[in-house]
Amino acid sequence: MLKSDDTSLCHWLSRFQRLEMTEDQIANPARSATGFAHVIGDTAKGMAFDTDPAAFNKLLHDLAPDDLKSGKSK
pTM, two decimal places: 0.35
Tell me: the pLDDT tens digits for 29-68?
776 676 677 777 777 776 666 567 777 788 888 898 888 8
pLDDT of residue 2: 45
CA dist., res. 10 & res. 26, Å (int): 8
What are the residue ranges spanned by the domains of the chain?
3-66
Between 2 and 58, the more confident residue is 58
Between 3 and 56, the more confident residue is 56
- pLDDT(18) > 70: yes
Q: What angle do CA 7, 13, 17 make, to 5 degrees?
A: 170
